[in-house]
Amino acid sequence: MNYKETLFFVGKCLTINHEERNKVLVEEKIKSSDVDWESIVKISTAHFVFPALYCNLKKANFLHYLPEELVNYMIHITDLNRERNQEIIEQAKEINHLLLANNITPIFLKGTGNLLEGLYDDIAERMVGDIDLIVSQENFKKSIAILKHENYVAKEEVYMDFHWHYPKMVKKNRIAAIEIHNKVLKKPYTKFLDFETLKKDAITFNKCNVASYENQFFITILQKQINDNLYYSKTIALRNVYDSYLISKKDFLKNNVLSNQLEEYINNYKICASEILNFPDNLLFIDNKSSKKYLNSYLKILEGSKKELKKIRQKIKYIKLKDKFKIIQYSFIDKEYRSYTLRRFKNIKFYLKNLGLLKSKPNP
């Protein structure tokens, strides 16, 4: 099994308890003994869906087809993740109580929000890195100060005013780092998923607010695609694909468009996600010229096309350069960007780095 075949097989496995067609295909594949389980473990781990893979295979009663040693390993990792997620849920509730006591309403995002609202049959399915939450702009600095008072410490105090979250904050004897957001998407898309938009439709579970299913869906797709430019590198993580698939099964308008400015991001993501999962009925997309072109490029990358990878690398260089010019452009009209730009221009390391005279420290 090559990379693409393995990725698509794992994708099918993640839907076998909802998509009968995929359940039949997966069972046939496993029974044929034509599965490279080493590659399955490697790719599902890299995409942070290894416990979700186990949970779905277990629920479908397919574990007896797998090597016993692999099943035991899957059980071990999944049990550890379940314990970690239970601690994350308790920590999130603790943070929620603390902020509410100070008249601040946090809205939990991404993995933690999904855990709090019960998106998964088993909380062990989701591998969660940090506890992400968003507060209003006026409560942003206050929230940071409250957590610092509770002995949370930022890993790195350097904060870019226009960035979408404060640096990760950690506390001794707490399992997860906290990322306090004051926005979800970077400029110029900030307004489409700002705090007020999320608060208006937020859902409450055990006194914890999470984004509505529709907004969860958009956040799952857009945050990495836009903020980290993964749209241009055509990088799609199975963890996000699985989340967007489960959320899309909830009762909300599937064809809703957040904004015409974002329609292409969302639709091109959905056509790739749908391809990975073998075209489930609920993950709808518009089959147009743009989406076909994007999917074709994505499939070439999965197949290791050197020509396509070269094009992508050139595109990313251009996007990064464009982003730097955008920062300067925004500095003339936006206080946050202006503050950051002036701070960088006063820093001698900024010039040394851009002139290639500052050597980066080797990894330990």
Tokens 């794992």 map to which residue? 10
- Predicted local confidence at residue 49, as pLDDT: 98
Share of the chain above pLDDT 90, in %: 71
Give residue-wise pLDDT tens across range 177-231: 999 999 999 888 889 999 999 999 999 998 999 999 999 999 999 998 998 888 9
Q: Where does the pLDDT of residue 352 fall: very low under 50, low under 70, confident under 90, or very high at 90 and above?
A: very low
Q: Where does the pLDDT of residue 362 fall: very low under 50, low under 70, confident under 90, or very high at 90 and above?
A: very low
- The CATH code that applies to domain 3-354 is 3.30.460.40
For residue 152, report the phi and psi dihedrals to the nearest 5 degrees.
Answer: -85, 135
CA dist 134 and 206 (Å) reads: 18
Q: Where does the pLDDT of residue 320 fall: very low under 50, low under 70, confident under 90, or very high at 90 and above?
A: confident
Q: Where does the pLDDT of residue 57 fall: very low under 50, low under 70, confident under 90, or very high at 90 and above?
A: very high
CA dihedral 93, 99, 101, 103 (to 10 degrees): -140
Do the beta carbons of residue 146 and residue 105 sit within 8 Å? no
Residue that wins the pLDDT comparison between 320 and 66: 66
In the chain, what are the domain boundaries? Answer: 3-354
Q: Where does the pLDDT of residue 337 fall: very low under 50, low under 70, confident under 90, or very high at 90 and above?
A: low
Residue that wins the pLDDT comparison between 232 and 57: 57
CA dist 189 and 166 (Å) reads: 18
Q: Where does the pLDDT of residue 363 fall: very low under 50, low under 70, confident under 90, or very high at 90 and above?
A: very low
Check residue 210 and report its DSSP letter: E
| 188 closest CA partner among 334, 332, 321 | 334
